[in-house]
């Protein structure tokens, strides 16, 4: 099955999975929230990344498109956390790199149609 998926999309899928794991590690283990329940923070941060799984079975490109759109939110979150929290800056940088990798892979996987 992996031979049918272009390399750019495989990179995007790996970045997507790493972004999900990062959210679990960041908000559930390394820096859990102090004022609200951890399960609520995980629900807010992880659930949006899992929703495109419904489209993954039918079309990898469509699932990655939705994750790419969602990745813009995580990119903004990484920028804000990197700017405001020095203790979490390294996690924010990882989040920024993963979102850029995901969006870059999505862009690299686009194939141009020949001109008529």
Mean pLDDT of successive 10-residue stretches along the chain, which has 116 residues? 76 96 96 95 96 87 91 97 96 98 88 62
CA distances from 108 to 22, 64, 66, 116 (A): 23, 12, 16, 23
In whole angstroms, give the CA distance from residue 31 to residue 1: 37
> By C-alpha distance, which of 9, 114, 115 is closest to 61?
9
Residue 1: per-residue pLDDT = 47
φ, ψ at 62 (rounded to 5°): -65, -45
In whole angstroms, give the CA distance from residue 60 to residue 78: 25
What is the number of helices (H) and of strands (E) in the chain? Answer: 5, 0
């Amino acid at each position: 099955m992996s031979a049918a998926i272009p390399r750019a999309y495989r990179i995007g899928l790996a970045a997507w999975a790493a972004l999900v794991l990062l959210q679990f590690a960041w908000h559930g283990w390394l820096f859990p929230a102090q004022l609200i329940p951890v399960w609520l923070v995980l629900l807010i941060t992880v659930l949006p990344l899992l929703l495109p799984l419904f489209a993954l079975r039918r079309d990898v490109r469509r699932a990655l498109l939705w994750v790419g759109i969602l990745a813009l939110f995580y990119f903004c979150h990484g920028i804000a956390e990197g700017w405001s929290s020095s203790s979490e800056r390294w996690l924010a940088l990882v989040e920024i790199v993963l979102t850029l990798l995901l969006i870059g892979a999505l862009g690299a996987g686009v194939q141009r149609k020949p001109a008529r």
